[in-house]
Structure 1
Amino acid sequence: MKKYIAALSTTALISVAPHALASSTDLTVTGTITPVACTPSLSNGGIVDNGKISAKDLKPTLHTLVGKHPLQLTVTCDAPAQFALNPIDNQAGTGSTRTWFGLGLTDAGEKLGWFSVEIKNTIADGVVAHAIDSDDDGKTWKRTWVSSPGYLLSTGSATDPSTPIAVQALTMDFEVATRIARADSLTLTDEVTMNGSATFEMKYL
């Protein structure tokens, strides 16, 4: 990606007129239009259904794992491209832990729990690769086994996890684990609906 630097030039004017010198500043708008288009998708329409869980089966003083479900992420591009996915928690601030994605609130305003996304396998153009993430908007990357809100998710080679590689066809096998907060922190006199939601936004690097 080309980077454009706005040049600042200064001039001096000596005037015999008693008027003040005018000053100004420039606004420069830059960007790149890429000819490559990539489309992400999730198996099963991106839906994880944990069914109905009885309140009496929840642990009173510990979080309770109520389900683990496989899900596959695929990204298909017109041509090899460097890209990342930005995981956005659509229920931000509702997770019982800040690291993972929230499940929404109870009617009493209590944080219901969270779900995590573990990455089991990564295949880039038919070759084993590694998932990598960045918490500084792509300046640095490291290998990861999970996807978390606030961390860009990309793909590195099996030998160098520090740099995103260009990929045309990517698959990542996810395991989505759902956990409910300790039962003694929740009001469970009526049915409570889990409402976890995350968006994986495409970003071209």
Structure 2
Amino acid sequence: MLAPVHASAQGAPLRVTGAFVPAACKPALAGGGVIDYGTIFASSLNQMAQTTLADKSTQLTLTCEAPALFGFKVADERAGTAITSLVTIPNYDAGLKFGLGAADGKNIGAYSLQMTKQTADEGTTRLITSLDGGATWLLNGGAIASDSSVLVAFAGSATGTVPGAHTSMAVDTGPMATAMEHSKTSPGSRRAPAPGRWTRPPT
């Protein structure tokens, strides 16, 4: 005759530990992000109309440790100094113009950015933007707003309409069209940098 076996169940905690680490992404601008027109003297400016400088361009690249959803905003470090009446890129309104700063209490001019030739993970993608922090997305023809309110991202494919997870991305930031006020109201000789700050918002 077999004696009954009694099993005594005692609590055994089960723990699952780990850490979630978002993929780190590193942005870079060719040439250190510097667009230098050199020294521009007042005597070289048109006396009656704006002076339009030669278009410039650079390239923005972003590399991530693993496929990641990312976006960025562009902020004008010299906000409030853009002369929005100047023509930079045709049909660009005031919200698409960045400031060149001021000298002797007078604003110098304005510039605008356009993004083209975007690729991601060695394939074609498309530029998209969000006006509501990423809740909805719209196609973007390349125009970049200067007030840092617009979130910019890249779709998952050439026909996508929502952000895709990428490990690498490259986009030309050009033409960058720069215009300076006519010499009758411009300050004296002045180097006219085109400053801007690229920031990756929290995700």
The superposition leaves residues 160-200 of structure 1 with CA deviations (integer Å, 9 ceiling, x where unpaired) of 2x3111111000011122211233332x3x32232431111
Name the residue aligned to 2:167: 168
Name the residue aligned to 2:143: 146
* Greater Cα shift, 65-74 or 51-60: 51-60
Name the residue aligned to 1:126: 122
The runs of 5 or more residues in structure 1 that have no matched partner are: 1-32
Q: 2:75 aligns with which of 88, 96, 101?
A: 88
Q: 1:101 aligns with which of 77, 90, 98?
A: 98
Q: 1:137 to 1:181 in 2, by over 3 A?
A: farther
* Alpha-carbon distance between aligned partners in 2 of 1:141 and 1:64, rounded to the nearest angstrom: 36
Q: 1:34 to 1:201 in 2, by over 3 A?
A: farther
Name the residue aligned to 2:110: 114
Q: 1:69 to 1:195 in 2, by over 3 A?
A: closer
* Greater Cα shift, 171-180 or 51-60: 51-60
Normalising by the residue count of structure 2, what TM-score does the alignment of the two structures yield? 0.75
How many residues get paired?
170
How far is the alpha carbon of 1:34 from its aligned partner? 4.1
| Runs of at least 4 residues off by over 4 Å | none
Normalising by the residue count of structure 1, what TM-score does the alignment of the two structures yield? 0.75
Identity %: 31
Root mean square deviation of aligned Cα: 2.1
* Greater Cα shift, 162-171 or 191-200: 191-200
- How do 1:176-187 and structure 2 match up within 5 A? 176-186=176-186
Determine if contact 2:38/2:191 at 8 Å carries over to the other structure.
no
* Greater Cα shift, 115-124 or 54-63: 54-63
* Alpha-carbon distance between aligned partners in 2 of 1:143 and 1:90, rounded to the nearest angstrom: 26
**Structure with the larger RCO, 1 or 2 (CA within 8 Å, 6+ apart):** 2
The runs of 5 or more residues in structure 2 that have no matched partner are: 1-19, 85-93
- How do 1:45-60 and structure 2 match up within 5 A? 45-60=32-47
How far is the alpha carbon of 1:96 from its aligned partner? 0.9
1:41 aligns with 2:25: no
